[in-house]
Homo-oligomer: A and B are copies of this chain.
Amino acid sequence: MKPRMCGIFGIHGHAEAANLTYLGLHALQHRGQESAGIVASDGERLYAHRAMGLVQAVFSPPDLAALPGSAAIGHVRYSTAGGSHLKNVQPLAVDYARGSIAVAHNGNLTNHTQLREQLEARGSIFQSAADTEAIVHLIAMSMQRGAAEQIADALKQVEGAYSLLFLTEREMIAVRDPMGIRPLVLGRIDQGEGVAPAWVVASEPVSFDLIGAELVRDVEPGEMIIVDESGLRSVKPFAQKERKMCLFEYVYFARPDARLEQSSVYEVRKALGRRLAEEQPIPGGTDDLVVIPVPDSGVPAAIGFAERSGAAFEMGLIRSHYVGRTFIEPQQSIRHFGVRLKLSPNRPVIAGKRVVVVDDSIVRGTTSRKIMKMVRDAGAREVHLRISSPPTQWPCFYGIDTPTRSELIAATHTVDEIGRYVTADSIGYLSLEGLIASVRSVERRATGGEGPAPTSYCHACFSGEYAIPFAPSAQGRHLRLVGG
């Protein structure tokens, strides 16, 4: 089970705002499949539609037709296990003194518990457990006049990682936290001569080709972009801090065709694979050696690994496209069942070979163990595991839904122990230095000049060096919203 995340998308100044937001969310679904929502504005009023489920299930054509206007923001959220869960379908939309406002959030506030206690002490009510609700309370309580000023006022009181999209009756406002931990990009759709362009903001620019938008640039850390009828303006209301871009976005989260910080995620992953091949070569040379990715996320790193190591790249594991939510597990034990439903060994390219399996990360280790066994059962002579990131030892408090520390195998086991647990003939992780160096080299090539400093990344999940302090969650106290 991989970690999970959210994705946001917004557009202002386009006659088909809700439709394009739907498409934008569709392309961001690798970031969240639990729920989806869109809030649209027709200049007078906000209209919201939100529900549990995949984007294509949540929005029927009549639902979209009921979202009028030329501005809209949307949100997709990761899935959680089990039937009972905290309801947190976004965007959140409220009325307050100035009018209406909606917000879509990717990230996590580290001082959420304190904020909530302070707000409740002042008489605020909370209808969900989401930290996003605290942001809206702060906005409503701001003594500033305009929505942008109120938002800036509110965000000065919050700590943590956030990429945010706000929608009022007339404005779309995008904000990225001062450290730029979560990605956020700006695009534009030219609409012909004499017509103002439409502006697009998204977690990743992966839908831009689809909707005819061009990528303009990343929203900068600490930047607030305000789009209204008069066009786009940018302000920097917060004290400046060093960028701390999340490395896990490069390693796993972002889609490979995304360009973040001007850099190709695909190229980064290939570079990680090449560096991994240098740092963690396979003992015994390349004779009969094949490099196979865990599809789809491990493919670019495996291509890079194969390129640098000189071994053949092959699709040794075939991914099924028809894995459903509910399946039937036979009562008698079938070995490695869950993984086998999703991945099948391609015996002819594995049998009799020395196989390197390339994956991006190991969380609990159970899936890797099943894959190792599956590959060996398919006739591999040797099975080596190579991971294109360092051991994941620490939970993320900045928006990634990772297991607790005790569930992370690398938090409690040495690399050798992990290797034995997953039954690999050898195991090798990329070093943190190697990860940072690889990312920097691609970013440097993209931006020219010196490129970003080695300190400009968040690698807390690998190093435990948390850039922002955090308080324990008060989640246990809240009311429970059961079902859809």
Interface on A for B, CB 8 Å cutoff?
15-16, 19-20, 22-23, 26-27, 29-30, 33, 39, 45-49, 51, 54-57, 59-64, 66-67, 83-84, 92-97, 99-100, 102, 116, 120-127, 136-137, 140-141, 206, 209-212, 255-257, 259, 264, 266-267, 296, 299-300, 303, 307, 312-315, 318-328, 330-332, 334-335, 337, 340-341, 344-349, 374, 377-378, 477-484
Contact = CB atoms under 8 A, between A and B. Distances in A.
A47 B378 contact: no
A208 B454 CA distance: 49
A123 B100 contact: no
Given A126-B96, A315-B256, A347-B259, A334 B49 contact: no
A322 B32 CA distance: 11
Contact of A46 (B62, B303, B480): B480
B55 A330 contact: no
Contact of A315 (B51, B60, B266): B266
Interface of A is mostly: mixed
15 contacts: A15-B332, A23-B330, A49-B483, A55-B324, A60-B326, A61-B326, A93-B479, A94-B127, A95-B125, A210-B334, A257-B318, A257-B344, A257-B346, A267-B348, A303-B314
A119 to B, nearest CB: 9
Contacts of A325: 56
Contact of A47 (B26, B344, B480): B480
A299 B315 contact: yes
A344 B255 CA distance: 10
A15 to B, nearest CB: 8
A67 B482 contact: yes
A482 B66 contact: yes
Contacts of A102: 479
Contact of A120 (B93, B97, B120, B312): B97
Most buried by B among A30, A211, A341, A346: A346
Given A19-B328, A23-B330, A210-B340, 7 more contacts: A22-B328, A23-B328, A39-B479, A125-B140, A210-B334, A303-B315, A484-B484
A26 B479 contact: no
Given A46-B479, A66-B83, A330-B16, A256 B318 contact: yes
Nearest to A26: B322
A296 B60 CA distance: 28
Given A120-B97, A332-B16, A344 B209 contact: yes
A482 B125 contact: no
A482 B326 CA distance: 20
Contact of A95 (B100, B126, B307, B332): B126
A97 B474 CA distance: 13
Contacts of A140: 120, 123-125
7 smallest CB-CB distances across A and B, nearest first, come from A56-B324, A264-B348, A123-B141, A94-B125, A257-B346, A46-B479, A97-B120
A195 to B, nearest CB: 12
A86 to B, nearest CB: 11
A45 B266 contact: no
A328 B94 contact: no
Contacts of A335: 212
Given A23-B328, A125-B95, A349-B264, A211 B334 contact: yes
Contact of A344 (B27, B55, B344, B482): B27
Contacts of A26: 320, 322, 327, 341
A223 to B, nearest CB: 24
Nearest to A46: B479
A123 to B, nearest CB: 4
Contacts of A15: 332
A120 B30 CA distance: 38
Given A63-B483, A266-B315, A303-B314, A331 B209 contact: no
Contact of A482 (B20, B48, B92, B116): B48
A258 to B, nearest CB: 9
Nearest to A317: B257
A134 B435 CA distance: 53
Nearest to A474: B95
Contacts of A61: 326, 328
Contact of A127 (B19, B63, B93): B93
Contacts of A30: 321-322
Contact of A266 (B33, B332, B346, B374): B346
